[in-house]
A = this chain, B = another copy of it.
């Protein structure tokens, strides 16, 4: 489990520095976002937020997640299924993703070999690397668990 205090402070700092306000909605969305499992899609987040505070509009969620992204506490992820997902940014942490095309399971991976290699490639092609997205698609080897997840999703 991660410590969320730095992220909360980072957001407060961002609000302060930009003359933005710490509204009740932003608090509730932050709580839902941080206590969520990772890779939450907008729809899931909206549902979680409305659980705690009904009446929050989807425009607010969109706007707030953009704000969190600008504040550096959230990363936007798109895995090609038309859903935008967000995950908390923990300092010094970077990972990429494996996605099961059958059940939608998302698993994280980190690989220093690939990270380093990318720098070499970027330089050799005349680029300065700023970021990357590396998604590996496949199928779960554990087909029973995969099928169960798939059933649960509908």
Point out residues on A near B: beta carbons under 8 Å. Answer: 78, 80, 98, 100-101, 107, 109, 111, 113-114, 117-118, 121-122, 125-142
B132 touches A135 (CB 8 A): yes
Which of chain B's residues have a CB closer than 8 A to the CB of A107?
125-127
Copies of this polypeptide in the complex: 2
In the bound complex, CA of A40 to CA of B79 (Å): 20
Interface of A: prevailing SS = strand
Q: How far is the CB of A95 from chain B (nearest CB, A)?
A: 11
**Contact among B101, B117, B122, B139 for A113, CB-based, below 8 A:** B117
Closest to A77 in B: B80
B117 touches A127 (CB 8 A): no
B138 touches A130 (CB 8 A): yes
**Contact among B130, B135, B140 for A133, CB-based, below 8 A:** B135
